[in-house]
C-alpha cells in the first residue's frame, strides 16, 4: 500500500497545509478548524440571536446539546420538548416567539437542576413570553386570565368582595385584619383558589380549623388581598405582575404582623424572591413549614388509615428547597403510610400548573399527548396509594380532573394536607 505522508509537519505551519494524506486518508482541507475560532455558517442563527439578545434570554446560547435536560423535562415525557430541542429548533430557524412551544414550559426548574451550562428556562421562557405578550400573541385562554386578573384581582374573575365568603358559617373565627385593628402574630395570605374554588375552600376551612385548634393569633386580608402575580410574571405579563405587587405591598405595609403565612407555593416564591426588592420584605412561611414545627402541639389522635403518596410542588421543592415539612406532617398522621412515587423530591414531576400552565390546559391538550397532571396521577396510582396528598392550591382541582379523565375515579382521592390534619384532629368537616 502506498503511503503519502508529509514527514515534516511543523505545527507552527499547520494552518498553511492545504493537502495532507495519511495512510491513504485525506485529512487535508478544514481539519485545522480546531485551531481557529469556529464560525457557524451552516445555520441561520437569527432566531437564536433574537432570544439570546433578550434580557433573560442569554443562557439559551450556552446550550452544548448534552441532552441531560431532556430526560427530566416533564413536557418531553408527554411530547417533544426541553431546552436542548428548543435550541435546535431555533438553530433551524423556528420562530419561538410565535410557536406554540413557547407556552409549554411550566418553569418547573428540573432542566436547570441538571444542566451543566446553567441554561435557565426560568429566565428564558418569561423573557420571550414578555415580547409575545407585548404584541398580543398569547393563547386566548391565558389572555382571558390576564384580563380577569387585571380587572378583578384574581384569575378566576370572581368578585373581590366575595374573597372572604368561604369563612361564612365556619365553626371557628377567621378575622379580617382590617377589622381587628391591631397587630397579629400570623397574617394568612389565603390566595385565589383557596378563597374561591370549592375544593380550595374545603382546604381553607380545614386549615382555619387547624390554626384555631393550635390557638394561633391569625387574621386574613379578605377583599384587600389580590393575586400574588408570580405565575403572571412567569407567563410573561410583567406589567400585570408589577401592578399586583405594588398594590399588595401597599396593602401589606399598612398592617403589623410577625409572619406572613402562605397557602400557595407560588405566592411563597413571590414573597421570598420578587417582593423584597420592591419594598415588600416579610417574614414568610409556607403553611406546611409553619405546621411542621408545631406537630408536637397538635395532639393528632384520630386514626387516618390511608396509604398516602405525596406530590412535591415545583415552587416549594425545587425552587425553594422545602421537601421535608410536608412529609413530616404526613408521617405524623396516626395510622397513615407514606408511599413515594418514583419521581419525587428534587426530581418530582410537575403537575403542569406552573408558569401560566394553570390556565393553558386547552393549549397543553392540543400540543402534548397527555396533560402533565394526568401523567402524574398515573404515577400516583402506580404506587398503590389510595390518597394523593397535595400542598399547593393549584393541585387539588388539577389532579381531581386528571383522576376522572384517566378513569381512576374511586381508586385515588386527592386531599390537601390541611384536610388530612383536620381529620387526624377529629375536627368537623363540612
**Which positions lie near ligand SF4, rule CB under 6 A?**
63-69, 72-75, 81-84, 105-111, 114-117, 119, 121
Three-class secondary structure of residue 56 per DSSP: coil
Closer to ligand SF4 by Cβ: residue 72 or 285: 72
Q: What is the residue whose three cell numbers read 388509615?
A: 305
Least separation, in Å, of the C-beta of 395 and ligand SF4?
A: 16
Rounded CA separation 421/430 (Å): 14
Least separation, in Å, of the C-beta of 347 and ligand SF4?
A: 11
Q: What is the residue whose three cell numbers read 448534552?
A: 66
Q: From the CB of residue 401, how many other CB atoms can be counted at a distance below 10 Å?
A: 16
Closer to ligand SF4 by Cβ: residue 112 or 333: 112
Closer to ligand SF4 by Cβ: residue 194 or 357: 357
Rounded CA separation 387/415 (Å): 7
Rounded CA separation 140/163 (Å): 26
Least separation, in Å, of the C-beta of 50 and ligand SF4?
A: 18
All residues at 6 or more sequence positions from 250 whose CB lies less than 8 Å from its CB, including other chains: none
CA angle 190, 192, 193 (to 5 degrees): 100
Closer to ligand SF4 by Cβ: residue 109 or 177: 109
Closer to ligand SF4 by Cβ: residue 74 or 393: 74
**Which residues, listed in sequence order, are joined to residue 413 by a DSSP beta bridge?**
387
Rounded CA separation 333/36 (Å): 64
Least separation, in Å, of the C-beta of 366 and ligand SF4?
A: 17
Closer to ligand SF4 by Cβ: residue 112 or 300: 112
Least separation, in Å, of the C-beta of 140 and ligand SF4?
A: 22
Rounded CA separation 84/86 (Å): 5
Least separation, in Å, of the C-beta of 242 and ligand SF4?
A: 23
- Say how many CA atoms lie within 13 Å of 333 toward its Cβ: 24
Least separation, in Å, of the C-beta of 381 and ligand SF4?
A: 22
The secondary structure element, H or E, covering residue 151 is helix 140-152
Closer to ligand SF4 by Cβ: residue 286 or 319: 319
Closer to ligand SF4 by Cβ: residue 86 or 304: 86
Closest by CA position to 123, among listed 49, 36, 210, 60: 60
Three-class secondary structure of residue 376 per DSSP: helix
> Which three cell numbers mark 323?
421537601
Least separation, in Å, of the C-beta of 217 and ligand SF4?
A: 39
- Dihedral of CA 398/399/402/404: which sign? negative
Report which DSSP code applies to 358. Answer: G
Amino acid at each position: 500500500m502506498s503511503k503519502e505522508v508529509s514527514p515534516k509537519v511543523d505545527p507552527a505551519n499547520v494552518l498553511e497545509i492545504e493537502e495532507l494524506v495519511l495512510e491513504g486518508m485525506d485529512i487535508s482541507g478544514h481539519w485545522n478548524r480546531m485551531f481557529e475560532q469556529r464560525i457557524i455558517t451552516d445555520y441561520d442563527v437569527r432566531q437564536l440571536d433574537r432570544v439570546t439578545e433578550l434580557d433573560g434570554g442569554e443562557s439559551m446560547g450556552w446550550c452544548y446539546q448534552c441532552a441531560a435536560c431532556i430526560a427530566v423535562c416533564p413536557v418531553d415525557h408527554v411530547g417533544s420538548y426541553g431546552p436542548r430541542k428548543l435550541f435546535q429548533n431555533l438553530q433551524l430557524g423556528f420562530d419561538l416567539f410565535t410557536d406554540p412551544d413557547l407556552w409549554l414550559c411550566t418553569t418547573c426548574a428540573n432542566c436547570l437542576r441538571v444542566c451543566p451550562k446553567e441554561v435557565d428556562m426560568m429566565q428564558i421562557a418569561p423573557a420571550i413570553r414578555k415580547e409575545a405578550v407585548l404584541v398580543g400573541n398569547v393563547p386566548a385562554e391565558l389572555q382571558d386570565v390576564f384580563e380577569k386578573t387585571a380587572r378583578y384581582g384574581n384569575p378566576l374573575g370572581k368578585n373581590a368582595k366575595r374573597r372572604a365568603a368561604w369563612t361564612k358559617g365556619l365553626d371557628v373565627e377567621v378575622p379580617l385584619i382590617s377589622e381587628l385593628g391591631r397587630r397579629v402574630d400570623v397574617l394568612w395570605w389565603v390566595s385565589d383558589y383557596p378563597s374561591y374554588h370549592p375544593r380550595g375552600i374545603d382546604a381553607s376551612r380545614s386549615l382555619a380549623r387547624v390554626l384555631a385548634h393550635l390557638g394561633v393569633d391569625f387574621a386574613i386580608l379578605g377583599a384587600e388581598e389580590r393575586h400574588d402575580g408570580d405565575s403572571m410574571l412567569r407567563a410573561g405579563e410583567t406589567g400585570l405582575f408589577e401592578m399586583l405587587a405594588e398594590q399588595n405591598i401597599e396593602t401589606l405595609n399598612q398592617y403589623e404582623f410577625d409572619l406572613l403565612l402562605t397557602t400557595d407555593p407560588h405566592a411563597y416564591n413571590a414573597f421570598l424572591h420578587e417582593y423584597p426588592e420592591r419594598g415588600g420584605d416579610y417574614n414568610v412561611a409556607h403553611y406546611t413549614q409553619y405546621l411542621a414545627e408545631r406537630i408536637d402541639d397538635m395532639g393528632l389522635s384520630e386514626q387516618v388509615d390511608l396509604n398516602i403518596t405525596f406530590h412535591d410542588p415545583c415552587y416549594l421543592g425545587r425552587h425553594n428547597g422545602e421537601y421535608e415539612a410536608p412529609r413530616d406532617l404526613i408521617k405524623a398522621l396516626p395510622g397513615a403510610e407514606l408511599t413515594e412515587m418514583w419521581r419525587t423530591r428534587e426530581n418530582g414531576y410537575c403537575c403542569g400548573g406552573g408558569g401560566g400552565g394553570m390556565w393553558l390546559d386547552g393549549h397543553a391538550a392540543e400540543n402534548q399527548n397527555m396533560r402533565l397532571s394526568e401523567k402524574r396521577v398515573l404515577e400516583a396510582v402506580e404506587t398503590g396509594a389510595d390518597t394523593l396528598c397535595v400542598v399547593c392550591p393549584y393541585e387539588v382541582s388539577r389532579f381531581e380532573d386528571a383522576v376522572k379523565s384517566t378513569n381512576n375515579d374511586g381508586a385515588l382521592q386527592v386531599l390537601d394536607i390541611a384536610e388530612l390534619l383536620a381529620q387526624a384532629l377529629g375536627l368537623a368537616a363540612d
